[in-house]
Structure 1
Amino acid sequence: MSDTVLYGMSTVLARLINYTLVRIHTGVAAPDGYGIISIFYAYMILFNALYTYGMETSFFRFATKASKEEQERVFNNIMTSLMLTSVFFSSLLYFNAEAIGLWMGYDNSALYVQWFAMLLTVDTLLVLPFAKLRIEQKALRFATLKVTEVIITVGLNIFFLILCRDIHEGKYLQEWKSVVDLIYDPSLGIGYAFLANLLAKVLIFITFFKQFITWRPQLDWKRLQQYYRYGFPLILIGVAFFVNEASDKILLEKWLPEGFYEQGDSTYAMGVYAACYKLSIFITLGVTAYKYAAEPFFYAQAGQKDSPRLFARVMKYFVIFLMMMVVGVVANLDWLAGLLIGKEEYLVGLSVVPILLMANVFLGVYYNLSVWFKVTDRTKFGAFLSLGGAMITVLGNYFLIPILGYHGSAIATLACYGSMMIASYWFGQKYYPVPYQVGNALLYVFSGVLVAYVVFNLEIMHFWTSFFVKNSILMAFVLLILFLERQELRKVVNK
């Protein structure tokens, strides 16, 4: 359990630290510049799925509980395969960067593609060393390296995008200008975000020097066939995850009609949407922390006679917790957005945030519901549900973007995760019935949405008056929930 806490806390902490990049990037770039970053990192989700082709999971499957000698063979074979394919794929990207850059149509995009090609290779080669740490139960080192990587990335972003820029422009430390000018090219602008990420990955790669020195290249085709058979189907899930999680930003840029927003083009709109999307991180962090803690709990309890009732109870309070978070974020959205995004030109898209918050609530509930296909070994349903969600995402964006702009992308995301949630509940009740309190959950969801809608649309000019009124409504909502749940809470306290 202590390992689970370390993995969960390090993931949450890393994401929180990483979130400071939003303020850095939106501070130095206009929405169209931030849109370029968002496009590249959206594609990275897809390429990560293709570059790793399920081999991380295969490594877990065939190396866990294996002898040390066998574990080394699995590591050597899979690492050799990943090394060959990642170098091959990245070489294609690197040497065709000019053509890809022309297709993307951004300034310096050919150089960005080359940096990304190298980044994808390094990132892929780090997959197995990190997986090995988990198998060897070295959770503290795993967590330390993950958090360190994010801290280095943020530090390098500050160095290139703020410190070097300011010294180059003569704002301070003039004695260092000649040195800075050797490594800093102002024409690259926001592209330094990609270089910072690449350098951070390389530094973490160096910490695994011992593992790569002892690695012995092997290509045992008979063994590799086993690994591929197990891992390749996961590519579909990875691609579906990309479509559900990131394709809306790409599709928004491609399908937004010219002149839809008078403030800027489709890259501008995508930058605004991507920045506002980040404000749903509060729900995402809650769901992520919950997943790390809940999954071992579900597996441990699955065989118990009373487990369905227990799962239903957990779901009930999970929904309550998420809806209180939704109302809390909406009640404080004005100052949170100003703090975490900053620039006024990004804040025009804040109306998508409540929609995206609810989309992530549905995703969190889906993760909770997914216990049924995990404990019954029907994981293929996870793939089917993800692919179904991907179809809804694409169709939703196709039909809604030309009409509603980035609000269409947000609604498509909501529809995707909502449909996955409903479908998972329906199939789950068939194969692993759990007496979820559906009526109770719907009551809290609808009441939370209503309160959030009222709070979001309250227009009070004075900041502190607005802060007091909106948070008073939040407290009233929380107290109402505590009153309705008083009997259950009394039982918990008595126990």
Structure 2
Amino acid sequence: MNPLKRLASQTAIYGVSSVFGRFLNYLLVPLFTYTFAPAEYGVVSEFYAYMGFLAVLLVFGLETGYFRFREGGEHAPETVYATALRFVVLANGGFFLLLLLLQQPLAALLRYPDHPEYIWWVAAILALDSVGLVAFARLRAEQLAVRFAAIKVIEIGVNIGLNLFFIVLCRRAFESDPHSLLGGLWNPAIGVGYIFLANLAASAVKLLLLGPQLRGVPGAFDGALFARLIRYSMPMVIIGFAGIVNEMLDRAALKYLLPHDLETNLAQLGIYSACYKLSILMTLFIQAFRYAGEPFFFAYARQTDARRIYAQVLNAFVIFCVFIFLLVTLYIDLFKFFIGAPYRVGLEVVPVLLLANLLLGVYVNLSIWYKLTDRTLLGAGVALTGAAVTVALLLWWVPVYGYMGAAWATLVCYAVMVALSWALGRRYYPVPYDLKRVFGYLALGLALYGADRLLVERAGLHAFLAGTLLLAAFLLIAFTLDGRRLLRGLRPA
């Protein structure tokens, strides 16, 4: 199969679980934002930000390490998998027991002394998900995308179902009759904690479905291989951790950096987090691309035309991301109903966050240089530089500009990382990227967005009509310039 067609088909299948499945999951955002006050939703956002940091640490970069050594040809794939999996299981078991013992002091430290149960619920979710990630990596490496997608969709379905069961059925039953069967399952003191409980149950179901990848693993733990594996993978932890700093530190830090009282800060955090969800389409497409792209880049690296193909991939990726940027920003008057009315005061952050995530996707494409040349320490340096930019700008801008400062900090961070990664890639793994086309499409997207603001706010054109005309213009231009080339690339080889 043509390599671009294979990558596109794999991305589409992962997209079923990532885009469609997680889109269903994100439909819970209206439920949460229409049910809970911004300050309550801020609690959930804060904990999920912490979980983002810990999730990176608890996988130890072994996903990428597994792909690297599986395709290296020096070790049997079963041995690489068994070595990675057994270490992750042992490490996460220890992590869960530690947080279970420390739940009360940690809850007090985070200013939730009345809810120590949040700590061990979150620890259990993280441990289950970390083990699951290694099993999912095996499915990706073996190109079992359909099974991967099916398990993801089932996990999301369980999460959605339990949230609806607790927050809608049980809560309403409690309000009608606290002594009824369903009403007895709702405890107002738990409140947003039911979101964690639903997630925990879904993660457990997922691990059960991954049983064939976890039971009777062929191959034994190889100590010598593990030393090489962890040496390669640990810089990926630094890269991943720095990436989470860039992606989630804003939500973890707003409670502490905003210049208001705790209740108001949590409310602002809730508003920012809810509006962040409106960049869902961009985030989910990038996630689907990552699932398909990482094993593809490693597997195709030995082909003589690999670098030319990688350049074509970036070009197509940017076209699709600019389309998503325009789709959301030009139809923001429709997308805003995705969140409750009290949260819509923060809509101004959406275009900035969409553009920031677009640049993150470009960085994902450019970062192949350090993965394919084993220069993960240099890659970690790029990520750490981005993290330093994020931290500095959050400390500077959030107390002055509020959550808008956090959005701009994210955008600047990813712009810096793209520039650094491109410069280092030119030296260590030069790929003939068509920069004129990449920047041209970015500029076109921003110009059309600016034209929409002028047509709606100054010319008085209806927002839906203006958005439709401008989106059609983008599609026409993209098809004229690259449509035939992309379709040609997707034909069978």
TM-score surpassing 0.5? yes
Indicate which of 412, 421, 424 corresponds to 1:424. 421
Name the residue aligned to 1:29: 36
Instruction: Indicate yes or no: 2:126 matched with 1:120.
Output: yes
Q: Percent identity?
A: 37
Amino acid at match of 2:199: N
CA distance in 1 between partners of 2:476 and 2:277 (Å): 29
> TM-score w.r.t. structure 1 length?
0.85
Instruction: Indicate yes or no: 2:204 matched with 1:205.
Output: no
Name the residue aligned to 1:43: 50
Amino acid at match of 1:383: A
CA distance in 1 between partners of 2:155 and 2:373 (Å): 37
Amino acid at match of 1:30: A
Please give the secondary structure, in 1, of the residue aligned with 2:182: helix
Name the residue aligned to 1:288: 287
Please give the secondary structure, in 2, of the residue aligned with 1:115: helix
1:293 offset after TM fit, Å?
5.1
Task: Count residues with an aligned counterpart.
Answer: 481
CA distance in 2 between partners of 1:177 and 1:413 (Å): 48
CA distance in 1 between partners of 2:19 and 2:64 (Å): 22
Instruction: Indicate yes or no: 2:182 matched with 1:180.
Output: yes
Name the residue aligned to 1:333: 332
Name the residue aligned to 1:273: 272
Equivalent residues in 2 for 1:189-200 (5 A)?
189-200=191-202
Q: Does the Cα contact within 8 Å between 2:172 and 2:183 map onto a contact in 1?
A: no
1:44 offset after TM fit, Å?
0.8
Equivalent residues in 2 for 1:63-462 (5 A)?
78-106=84-112, 108-135=114-141, 137-170=143-176, 178-208=180-210, 214=216, 224-258=226-260, 265-292=264-291, 294=293, 308=307, 311-338=310-337, 340-341=338-339, 343-456=340-453
1:419 offset after TM fit, Å?
0.7
Moved more, 352-361 or 218-227: 218-227
Q: Does the Cα contact within 8 Å between 2:174 and 2:184 map onto a contact in 1?
A: no
Amino acid at match of 1:319: V
Cα deviations across residues 9-37 of structure 1 (Å, max 9, x unaligned)? 33333322221121222121111111111
> Could you list the runs of 5+ residues in structure 1 that have no partner in the other structure?
none
CA distance in 1 between partners of 2:366 and 2:38 (Å): 37
Indicate which of 463, 470, 475 corresponds to 1:473. 470
Structure 1 pair 277/101, CA: closer, same or farther in 2 (3 Å)? same
CA distance in 1 between partners of 2:11 and 2:467 (Å): 36
Moved more, 446-455 or 115-124: 446-455
Moved more, 70-79 or 472-481: 70-79
Structure 1 pair 10/127, CA: closer, same or farther in 2 (3 Å)? same
Structure 1 pair 460/344, CA: closer, same or farther in 2 (3 Å)? farther
Structure 1 pair 56/491, CA: closer, same or farther in 2 (3 Å)? closer
Q: Does the Cα contact within 8 Å between 1:35 and 1:271 map onto a contact in 2?
A: yes
Amino acid at match of 1:283: M
> Please, what is the CA RMSD of the aligned residues?
3.5
Moved more, 412-421 or 18-27: 18-27
Structure 1 pair 445/215, CA: closer, same or farther in 2 (3 Å)? closer
Please give the secondary structure, in 2, of the residue aligned with 1:232: helix
1:52 offset after TM fit, Å?
2.4
1:436 offset after TM fit, Å?
3.6
Cα deviations across residues 465-484 of structure 1 (Å, max 9, x unaligned)? 3322332233344445556x
CA distance in 1 between partners of 2:209 and 2:487 (Å): 47
Q: Does the Cα contact within 8 Å between 1:330 and 1:455 map onto a contact in 2?
A: no
CA distance in 2 between partners of 1:468 and 1:118 (Å): 48
